[in-house]
Amino acid sequence: MNDLIDRFITYLKRERSYSEHTVEAYKRDLRQFAEFYSEYSNSVPLDIKKVNKIGIRHYLGMLSESGLAKTSITRKLAALKAFFKYHIRSGAISVNPAMLIKSPKTGKKLPTILSEEQIDTLIKTISDNDFVGLRNRAILEMFYSTGMRLGELLGLNYGDVNFKRLTVRVFGKGSKERIVPFGKTAEAAISKYLRSRREEYGHVDLESPLFISKRNRRISRSSVQKMVARMLQTVSEQKHLSPHVLRHSFASHLLDRGADLNAVKDLLGHNSLSTTQLYTHIRIEKMKEVYKQAHPHGE
């Protein structure tokens, strides 16, 4: 089973061009399942042909009893379905034992967003007296001005930014490329950061990572996550503050100002309009709040 997992992971990396973050999540999920199923079936090493629907249901039940969120259980089930589907094609099995298992129903959880005022306050609180402050401000501006994902920002090179057209080339999920515009405020922040960077580290060529650490290396995922969470805590008391909050805020603010839903879909790099429609629920909730506060019979 472990060999089959390794083959599947190699396929995701080489042929599907999945991000390192996604590949690691799939690997963890599949190894966790293999460990559970070996003990459940008393089979070491585990034979993939011995895996059946009943056993997978027991696994999902164990995850639920342990208190794991339904969204995480859904992700783990999706990993199993993809894994077995791949090995049907490879000839290792003839039936996908996870195919007919339905994901647990999850209520639609509205994403965390910041108001425009909170975003303005957030940007202004960042010190721009040194290289790190200028870089952090540029990162936050890039997130909010483009709505890109964390992995997309980490992969940016200097040559991906077109300062004349004020656009940036982004490589999304599955290495799908899109061009996203950004505003003059972001352009000013990025330019100031790059001037400081050249003073500190010298020439920046087209293939250089756009955002670097103090050691002149591509900035890490954990560094950006920690920095953004720390900065967001200065303007919000909500939980689960991450770079995705800026992506959600970007989309919500565009729609609030009358942007077309299809245009926002393309800017975000969504494959399906139904994913983008989540943000329309945020607007409805906002309207409900205004109604309750302002209408005589609102309560």
Q: Look up 279 and say whether it is catalytic.
A: yes
What count of other Cβ atoms lies within 10 Å of the Cβ of residue 53? 14
Beta-bridged to residue 161, according to DSSP, are 168
Instruction: Give the active site residue among 247, 248, 253, 265.
Output: 247
In whole angstroms, give the CA distance from residue 299 to residue 296: 8
23: left (phi over 0), alpha (psi -120 to 50) or beta: alpha
Are 14 and 20 in contact by the 8 Å Cβ rule? The answer is no
Any idea what DSSP says for residue 174?
G
DSSP β-bridge partners for residue 170: 178
Angle of the 53-65 helix axis to the 70-90 helix axis, nearest 10: 160
Q: 167 has which bridge partners?
A: 162, 181
Q: Is residue 221 annotated as part of the catalytic site, yes or no?
A: no
Residues 113, 69 contacting (CB under 8 angstroms): no
Is there a catalytic annotation at residue 247?
A: yes
Helix (H) / strand (E) containing 181: strand 177-181
> What would the two tokens of residue 43 be?
């089979």
Q: How many CB atoms lie within 10 A of CB 252?
A: 24
Angstrom distance (rounded) from CA 203 to CA 197: 9
List 137, 149, 197, 253, catalytic entry: 149
**Is 212 within 8 Å of 218 (Cβ atoms)?**
yes
- DSSP secondary structure string, 60-115? HHHHHHTT--HHHHHHHHHHHHHHHHHHHHHTS-SS-TTTTPPPPP---PPPP---
**Residue among 70, 173, 178, 221 flagged as catalytic:** 173
Answer yes or no: are the C-beta atoms of 55 and 41 closer than 8 Å. Answer: yes
Residues with catalytic function: 149, 173, 244, 247, 270, 279
